[in-house]
Amino acid sequence: MQAPYDTSLAADVFAEAKNTFNWLIGQLTDAASGMLTHDRLEETIVEQGRELQRQLLQAHLDLRALRERQQAHHARQNATTAGVTGSDGVSRTRLETGHHRLLATLIGTVTVTRCAWRAPGVHNLYPADAALSLPAVRHSAGLAKLAVIETVRGSFDAAHAAVTARCGNVIGKRQIEQAIVQAAVDVDAFYAARTPLPSTACTVLAISVDGKGIAMRPEALRPATAKAAARARATFRTRLAAGEKPARKRMATLGVVYDVEPAPRRPHDVIAVPGGRAGQRPPRARPSAMRKWLCGSISTGPAAVIAKVFDHAEDRDPGHVRPWVVLVDGARHQLDLITAEAARRGIGVHIVIDFVHVLEKLWAAAWSLHIPAAPAAEDWVAVHALALLAGHTGHVITALSGQAATTAAHRRDGIDACIRYLTNNLEHLRYDQALDAGWPIATGVIEGACRHLIADRFDLAGARWGLAGAEAVLKLRALIANGDLDEYWRFHLARQHERVHQSGYQDGYSLTA
């Protein structure tokens, strides 16, 4: 039960909010307001309504401050408390009232007044801060979450403009950047503590990894890239020459894990035979990705991201009873890291090279044998693609080698590259087995993730990223793409409370009266 003085205290602290509310009612009932258009009415209610909400929040905080001060004095007068003991074991017995701090919120900036418990030679303790779970910085959790939502979808300037339009001038652009970095600190711990829902043993567990470069500020480049940038000498003053690289990007690695219900197909369901499809039967449906989980990092290398992807995959299938299919584009360093990680964990994986990359190699070979825009090139590609899908990779390599032998040396680059690609990846081109088993054979999921997570946000014109900001935005974009923002935010606030408040007290943080 609250003390009798609560009623009179509440009446006093909420007086300003009541006056504002009554003033707003007067404005809306005044005859002059009957001449306002709806947009002017909206502006008035939004502006004054936000100030009313701020006053209500300020009044509640003032009421809590009054209650805390009276309860603390009452406890000391009756000798029912020995003060507050910190995690350092020191009891703070000196009570000092009237300590203030500002808190920027979604509805404006308010002042938090609270009592400090002090002792010589140690830092103060503020039990009211812990009871409110105030952040260590000036900006509230709600404001930080809004900054996250706005920042991951556009530039920092656009995020600052959006937050200011909604909340007023409560946070600066630099503070938004700092809030984003702080907001992402618990993402890895959040996913490590989660247990994904299980699936049936026949459901395919698909994994895919890819990389994409992000333009960085010079100090955020990896050492090798920074050295290349330092020794680069451009041929022209105003543009790069053919083959020259600006050496300003750092490679980010993305990983995805998803479930796929098997969808068996035949080669002609993927590629139409030369001359087009005959009959009315539509192609069989391709496998569809379900329960996608994305992760990424630019501060760590691909090995760390691949390990994280395997961690999540093992959480989905701890007994290794499901078929594991790894889809890659054929990059040798990725293949080596994936193979090593699977071997270290004792997991049998089926590695499948992205069929779209193979098609691109076939088209490059076609232009070594056909004149530009020749209609026959399409049928030539279809014939060899169907043979690859049917599992006849060796025959395709033999046929291409025979055709390359009769091609002029200056036109053989495309077909020679295709032969090397097929030969080097022969063991991962068993598309006949993949189609029979109903597995996916393309890396469209991770390619789409690269466009959505990186290209749509990091490739904004003129953007140059610092390492901490790029890492935070990448993790938060993956988190939101996974649909986990709200759940993560509750986890993050609980962890933040532990770091900022709970660790500072020996036996909790409430006043004992």
Rounded to the nearest 10°, the torsion over CA 334, 337, 341, 344 is 150
Report pLDDT for 82.
67
Main-chain phi, psi angles of 53, to 5 degrees: -60, -40
Mean pLDDT per 10-residue interval, the chain, length 513 residues: 53 88 91 89 90 95 92 73 80 89 96 93 92 94 96 93 93 95 96 88 95 89 79 64 68 95 93 74 88 95 95 94 94 93 96 96 93 89 95 95 89 93 94 96 93 89 88 96 96 94 69 35
Q: Give the three-state DSSP class for 494.
A: helix
Scanning the structure block, which residue is given the tokens 């103060």? Answer: 124
So what's the pLDDT on residue 233? 60
Burial of 268 (0-12, 13-18, 19+ CB in 10 A): middle
Residue with token string 């209650």: 67
Taking the C-alpha atoms of residue 234 and residue 244, their distance in angstroms, rounded to an integer, is 7
Is the CB of residue 365 less than 8 Å from the CB of residue 354? no
pLDDT at 7: 57
For residue 109, the cross-strand partners are 104
> What gap in Å lies between CA 341 and CA 345, rounded to an integer?
6
Is the distance from CB of 324 to CB of 347 less than 8 angstroms?
A: yes
- CA quadruple 184, 457, 213, 221: dihedral positive or negative? negative
Q: CB neighbours (10 Å) of residue 55?
A: 22
Q: What is the pTM of this model?
A: 0.87
